[in-house]
Amino acid sequence: GAVVSQHPSRVICKSGTSVKIECRSLDFQATTMFWYRQFPKQSLMLMATSNEGSKATYEQGVEKDKFLINHASLTLSTLTVTSAHPEDSSFYICSAGGFGGGDYEQYFGPGTRLTVT
């Protein structure tokens, strides 16, 4: 199957700083990438959908000025958490949409654990 990487896998930052998370599709071109967050023992909640070269579409309730998404190429999308606060601490997972095995699927990265102190 298709491979998606995320970097960093873990990050600790101080309140008020910004953090950037990268999501890369390693062996296919992803026209669409998705960003999810997951709180402990809860499911994945879609934050936004990004298409290469255009603005991201945010889900209801997600602050687009706080969670900046850039999808500059077919293999890279970035999520920047601006002015992070402790309540932003969460597990962030990206996925890349593609036709790796035939039909369209989302291929998930390993996730990034963000802790804001």
Partner 1 sequence: KQEVTQIPAALSVPEGENLVLNCSFTDSAIYNLQWFRQDPGKGLTSLLLIQSSQREQTSGRLNASLDKSSGRSTLYIAASQPGDSATYLCAVRPGGYNKLIFGAGTRLAVHP
Which residues are at the interface with partner 1 (CB under 8 A)? Answer: 1, 6, 32, 34, 41-46, 49, 91, 93, 95, 97, 103-111, 113
Which CB atom, from 76 or from 82, has the smaller least distance to partner 1? 76
Which CB atom, from 10 or from 85, has the smaller least distance to partner 1? 10
As a whole number of angstroms, the distance between CA 109 and CA 93 comes to 6
Which CB atom, from 82 or from 106, has the smaller least distance to partner 1? 106
Instruction: Give the C-alpha distances (Å, rounded to integers) separating 102 from 32, 33, 53, 75, 96.
Output: 16, 18, 24, 19, 15
The nearest distance, CB 57 to partner 1, in angstroms, is 9
Q: Which amino acid is at 89?
A: S
Residue among 67, 77, 80, 81 at smallest CA distance from 109: 77
As a whole number of angstroms, the distance between CA 63 and CA 75 comes to 24
The nearest distance, CB 64 to partner 1, in angstroms, is 16
The nearest distance, CB 16 to partner 1, in angstroms, is 26
The nearest distance, CB 111 to partner 1, in angstroms, is 5
